[in-house]
Amino acid sequence: MSWKEVAEPVLTRMPVVARPTGHVPFKRKLLWTAGVLVVYFFLTNIALFGLGGEGSDIFGQFRSILAGGQGSVLQVGIGPIVTASIVLQLLGGANLLGLDTDDPRDQVLYQGLQKLLVVVVTAMTAAPMVFSGTFLPADQALGAQLGIGTFGVQLIIFAQVFAGGILILFLDEIVSKWGVGSGVGLFIIAGVSQQLFGGFFSWSALGTPGLFSNWFGIITGSVELGPTFTAEWFQSLLFAPGELLALFTTVLIFVVVVYAESVRVEIPLSHARVKGARGRFPVKLIYASVLPMILVRALQANIQFLGQIINSQTTMPTWLGVYGAEGQPVSGLFYYLAPIQSRQDWMWFLGFTNAEPWMIGIRVAIDLTFMVIGGAIFAIFWVETTGMGPEATARQIQNSGMQIPGFRRNPQVVEKVMERYIPQVTVIGGALVGLLAVLANMLGTIGQVSGTGLLLTVSITYKLYEEIAEEQLMEMHPMMRQMFGND
């Protein structure tokens, strides 16, 4: 018996959100999306019952990408979903699963396997967070009052974190089937937008002054920049409190991503039966979108997660990693594998870090290599597993009744034409996104949003805008919906 026959009774019985039986009106999709977003914000503000202190956020530097909230029910965020996707993409890319995503039976098995992996990864992620006693410390006094001890309180906290990981899985599925876009993208937009809003509009009375608050103080004279046109003045203007460099980086990322989304190669198409019916198939520069970048950063987050767990439970060899008071590596292998998150990680010449220049150079080089090469590799996996490759695209064009003018109406011929563009653009786009993410992190952004998080937010928002425009077009012209099989 193959593994599929053994696992099929379990995988086919995994709970799922029912698909709509017919067309979901656009307004109803917006309502479902908005409702899930409200539930998400609500859950991120529900503190875990039984915590004895704040603890340290194990995903602190990656929180804008992995969503969720420290000390809340959604402690693990979308991390388990992304990790499960990484595992399945690697197994599928190596053809170890033996699943044909075009076969309806194998599609059900693939979805069930992904959901089962998310459940397992959620438990494996939550367990060390709770039972290590470092990241989510249990309230010992509460355990004594309830008569269940510290371990009993830890079990209660674990159950809450695990339930939150399962909830966010089904929230993502609701958005994918009943709403607009994907839940993963929606949660990333929500978290990053919240940080950006705080970075711009937070007032000094709230304890964390934002850009507008700082400049109001500079203009009124309550905030000093130092002697005019001196090194101190320029540093204060570019960094804190002026934050002009962060503002420039934030605007630049918006402009570059929107421009890159508009750069495309358009392959002309014509309908085989309807004369005059023409169209174009766009192959965008960022063809695989920036979503594969979540997979790359999540892989880095899991590596750092492993290092922090080892450091909290045992004495780590110095060559493997030395951790500072804030729980971040300051030397060793885990230091070099840690991504550059802000200018404080590399601007030694301004006194932002005490690390040696050669150590910083190695760390930057590894981060760039990891992001550029990893971005290209995961972009290829993403294209092949989501039906965006040359073969799948050729079948879609064939099934829609379209053809490329001047070529025979044959899937193999169309596939060869697509192979001239899609693989090359996929690699270039994935590498470009990785490079942009590292540069944005190095320069810093408003609200201390990570460069990858800002990059993802802009790109996902742009694609969400395109999906909304397409939904509105389909709503206005039902015949188009029937033509493209969306009814």
* DSSP-derived secondary structure for 340-404: P-SGGGT-GGGTS--S-HHHHHHHHHHHHHHHHHHHHHHHHHHHHHTT-SHHHHHHHHHHTTEE-
Does 382 lie in the same domain as 270? yes
Number of Cβ within a 10 Å radius of residue 272:
13
Number of domains in the chain: 3
Does 459 lie in the same domain as 316? yes
Q: Exposed e or buried b for every residue in 34-59, given b needs 16+ CB within 10 A? A: eebbeebeebbeeebebbbeebbbbb
Give the pLDDT of residue 386: 76
Q: What dihedral angle (degrees, nearest 10) is formed by the CA atoms of 60, 62, 63, 66? A: -140
196 assigned to some structural domain: no
Domain that residue 213 falls in: 204-246
Give the pLDDT of residue 153: 93
Does 282 lie in the same domain as 411? yes
Number of Cβ within a 10 Å radius of residue 284:
16
197 assigned to some structural domain: no
Give the pLDDT of residue 226: 82
Q: Which of 246, 277, 303 is the last residue of a domain?
A: 246
Q: What angle do CA 487, 189, 30 make, to 5 degrees?
A: 35
418 assigned to some structural domain: yes
Phi then psi for residue 341, to 5 deg, are -105, -25
263 assigned to some structural domain: yes
Does 221 lie in the same domain as 82? no
Q: For the CA atoms of the chain, what is the radius of gyration?
A: 25
Q: Residues near 276 by Cβ (< 8 Å), separated by ≥ 6?
A: none
Q: What angle do CA 293, 299, 303 make, to 5 degrees?
A: 145
Does 268 lie in the same domain as 120? no
185 assigned to some structural domain: no
Instruction: Pick the closest to residue 169 from 179, 180, 183 (CA basis).
Output: 183
Does 463 lie in the same domain as 440? yes
189 assigned to some structural domain: no
At 264, the amino acid letter reads R
User: What is the H or E stretch that residue 182 is in?
Assistant: none
Give the pLDDT of residue 97: 78
Give the pLDDT of residue 479: 54
Give the pLDDT of residue 273: 67
For the entire predicted model, the pTM comes to 0.82
Q: Which of 189, 223, 246 is the last residue of a domain?
A: 246
Q: Which of 216, 246, 276 is the last residue of a domain?
A: 246
Does 479 lie in the same domain as 417? yes
Residues 149, 137: contact at Cβ < 8 Å? Answer: no
Does 123 lie in the same domain as 83? yes
Please give the structure tokens belonging to residue 262: 């508009």
Please give the structure tokens belonging to residue 168: 């966010």
Give the pLDDT of residue 110: 86
Question: Where does 221-356 have alpha helices with state H?
Answer: 231-238, 244-262, 292-313, 333-337
Give the pLDDT of residue 31: 94
Does 214 lie in the same domain as 162? no
Does 387 lie in the same domain as 347? yes
CATH number of the domain to which 95 belongs: 1.10.3370.10
Which residue stretches of the chain have pLDDT < 50? 483-484
Does 263 lie in the same domain as 143? no
Give the pLDDT of residue 476: 67
